[in-house]
Amino acid sequence: MSIFPASLPGGTWTLGDLTVTRFGYGAMQLAGPGVMGPPADHDGALAVLREVVELGITHIDTSDAYGPRVTNQLIREALHPYPEALHIVTKVGATRDQQGGWPPARQPEDVRRSVHENLEALGLEVLDLVNLRIGDAQGPRPGSLDEPFEALAELQRQGLIRHLGVSNATAEQVAEARAIAPIVCVQNLYNLAYRQDDELIDELAEQGIAYVPFFPLGGFSPLQSSALSTVAARLDATPMSVALAWLLHRSPNILLIPGTSSVAHLRENVIGAGLSLSDEELAELDKIGQ
Ligand SMILES: NC(=O)c1ccc[n+]([C@@H]2O[C@H](COP(=O)([O-])OP(=O)(O)OC[C@H]3O[C@@H](n4cnc5c(N)ncnc54)[C@H](OP(=O)(O)O)[C@@H]3O)[C@@H](O)[C@H]2O)c1
């Protein structure tokens, strides 16, 4: 008998007209160290991607900047021609330099080039969902996204993109993007310990827009890690499981894209995210981020 649930934890969500499992997969960890170059274990990376589909996950998050090009090419090698139910979400707005930095690439011509590069690397004629990533490595930065988002909206009108989203954005930038074209998701840094976007998540939920936290498992201080480990130990679960399950409980519009380069961790995370948390446990976990 399979140890896996018949449906993935959290069920499904609809991004525009695309139904995805709320439990998705973030492909960034498949590139080499520092998200540069190929993985040490090429076949292992392909195995992770094939396991993603095998487990019934229908949402993969990627970017042509991962590697660069590496994760998109791995996704294509492992999974093309793609199952109809699978939706690949990519992002534009940053490139890579020789030192592994992430300089912005947000001129309209950068956006156009990047969309075409994603199409080519993934072997697609239309991208299901493209996020415009703004801000910098330290997080969102104020400022208009008008020019690059207009460029993306134009590519959508041309039929190269189905749906749009924004990433690493302030609430003001989310509103600015929505005034230009409908968005179906916001992808920002958020987790059990880092709760900057609490208000935004609730507003987006009311509007039927998904919120996709990146670093769902990372960046906890030692104190927060120890508080999380205490609750996890009591629940006979891993801290990773509790962190993922908490996100699924937090709001129905939250979609998970935990990253891993390991089939074993992927499987652990799928099972772990299904952990049921009582109101008391949720209240205790809520305190970690306050
Ligand atoms: N929009 C943006 O600006 C942005 C920025 C960063 C990331 N992202 C997206 O968000 C996704 C998630 O972020 P992330 O991968 O950086 O961080 P994450 O999901 O918070 O954590 C990934 C890390 O956790 C480890 N891990 C995962 N499951 C584990 C388990 N069961 N046991 C032990 N360790 C485990 C992974 O190592 P192993 O490989 O060893 O499992 C990896 O080091 C990325 O893949 C990417 O698609 C977007």
Q: Ligand 1: which of 28, 166, 197 to mutate, most ligand atoms within 8 Å of CB? A: 28
Ligand 1, atom 6, residue with closest C-alpha: 214
19 DSSP β-pair partners: 14
pTM of full prediction above 0.85: yes
The reply to whether 66 belongs to the active site is yes
The third-level CATH classification (topology) of the domain covering 17-187 is TIM Barrel (3.20.20)
Delimit the domains of the chain by residue range: 17-187
**pLDDT tens readout for residues 166-222:** 999 999 999 999 999 999 999 999 999 999 999 999 999 999 999 999 999 987 888
Catalytic residue among 66, 82, 190, 194: 66
Residue 26 CA to ligand 1 center (angstroms) comes to 7
- Nearest-CA neighbor of 67 among 27, 103, 25? 27
Contact 17, 64 (CB under 8 A): no
Which residues in the chain land under pLDDT 70?
1-6
Confidence (pLDDT) at 222 = 85
Cα separation of 145 and 217, whole Å? 28
